[in-house]
């Protein structure tokens, strides 16, 4: 990276889709293993590499949820991820999980019903249906 021209920031460098997927997977594994700072760094790096995608923001929010930072997770999802993609069923599902954790169960259920009715994402629809039938969908 030392040979990168000074007018190009490192975050402007092209990162392959395969590398982004790999980093996302590593971030989720780090989250699952309790490596909070490492997972946060990984997801923040992917956010920098893909600033127009909500997916790395969802990863960061899931990391926050897993470590008990529910308000932070909800803010990331509502104020950043859903601003980038207002139709993201996945972001809405994890926002519903955060909202429920904050004690607003009816609002969470309403959001999951909206996902069931509106999303074209099979995984998000399955998560919403599981949530609404009482199955554990915690990250």
CATH of the domain at 91: 1.25.40.10
The domain containing residue 103 runs over which residues?
12-132
CA-to-CA distance for 77 and 17, rounded, in angstroms? 22
Total domains in the chain come to 1
Secondary structure element (H or E) that encloses residue 89, with its range = helix 89-101
Asked, for residue 2, whether it belongs to a domain, the answer is no
Asked, for residue 18, whether it belongs to a domain, the answer is yes
3 pLDDT above the threshold of 60: no
CA-to-CA distance for 34 and 111, rounded, in angstroms? 29
6 pLDDT above the threshold of 70: no
Identify the CA nearest to 118 among candidates 135, 139, 101, 93. Answer: 93
67 pLDDT above the threshold of 70: yes
E strand segments, 1-139: none
Q: What is the pTM of this model?
A: 0.85
Residue 139's CB is within 10 A of a number of other CB atoms, namely: 16
Report percent pLDDT > 90 for the chain: 83
Asked, for residue 115, whether it belongs to a domain, the answer is yes
Any idea how long the chain is? 139
27 pLDDT above the threshold of 80: yes
Asked, for residue 103, whether it belongs to a domain, the answer is yes
CA-to-CA distance for 17 and 45, rounded, in angstroms? 14
CA-to-CA distance for 125 and 2, rounded, in angstroms? 45
pLDDT class of 2 with cuts at 50, 70, 90: very low
Asked, for residue 65, whether it belongs to a domain, the answer is yes
pLDDT tens readout for residues 33-55: 999 999 999 999 999 999 999 99
């Amino acid at each position: 990276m030392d040979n990168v021209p000074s007018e190009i920031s490192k975050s402007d460098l092209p990162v392959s889709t395969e590398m982004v997927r790999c980093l996302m997977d590593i971030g989720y594994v780090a989250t699952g293993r309790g490596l909070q700072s490492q997972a946060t760094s990984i997801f923040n790096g992917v956010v920098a590499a893909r600033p127009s995608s909500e997916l790395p923001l969802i990863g960061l929010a899931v990391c926050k949820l897993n470590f008990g930072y529910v308000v932070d997770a909800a803010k990331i999802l509502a104020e950043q991820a859903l601003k980038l993609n207002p139709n993201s069923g996945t972001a809405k599902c994890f926002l519903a999980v955060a909202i429920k954790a904050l004690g607003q169960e009816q609002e969470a259920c309403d959001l999951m019903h909206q996902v069931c009715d509106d999303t074209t994402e099979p995984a998000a629809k399955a998560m919403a249906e599981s949530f609404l039938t009482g199955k554990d969908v915690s990250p």
